[in-house]
Amino acid sequence: MKIRELNVNEEPPINLMLLADPSQKLIEEYLNRGVCYVGEKNNEITGVYVLLPTRPGTVEIVNIAVSENEQGKGIGKQLLMDAIQRSKAGGFITIEIGTGNSSIGQLALYQKCGFRITNVDRDFFIRHYEEKIFENGIWCRDMIRLSQDLNN
């Protein structure tokens, strides 16, 4: 899989990003402030992530998604490792990511890739989303925040 920055004149893969974040409004807001990267397989976009600098020395992966028919094939890990490498190369000290309390698979993947839980933003999804989100039979209410020190 080839991972590249989205071209300026290219439409971002919103439908793919909606798999990770059900709010098109929030996606459009962070796309305007961050840098979008896409993973391609056979000239088809199968994965996406957005890096957003948040504070001096810190960058956050605000969306990471893999097309449903390509999930479970290691693409998410490739995207995550690419984001880590690009962040290191960009001189960032810390990389952060957040996911819902119900995102069991994502929590496992992020920790396998070196992220550690730093805090919990209680009721994040209740405050920021109109509709209730359920995943893995669990009501998604809290944002689990994770980070990784890029100096190691």
CATH number at residue 48: 3.40.630.30
Tell how far CA 61 is from the center of its chain. 5
Mean pLDDT of 87-99: 97
Domain span at residue 19 reads: 2-149
Mean pLDDT of the chain: 94
Q: How many domains does the chain have?
A: 1
Model confidence at 107, in pLDDT bands (50, 70, 90)? Answer: very high
Contact 132, 88 (CB under 8 A): no
Supply the pLDDT for residue 55.
93
pLDDT digits (tens, 9 = 90+) for 22-72: 889 999 999 999 999 999 999 899 999 999 999 999 999 999 999 999 999
Which pTM value belongs to this model? 0.91
Closest by CA to 102, choosing from 60, 137, 51, 130, is: 137
| Position 129 pLDDT exceeds 90 | no
Percent of the chain past pLDDT 70, that is, above it, reads 99
Contact 106, 99 (CB under 8 A): yes
Rounded to 10 degrees, what is the CA torsion of 14, 105, 128, 134? 100
Supply the pLDDT for residue 152.
64
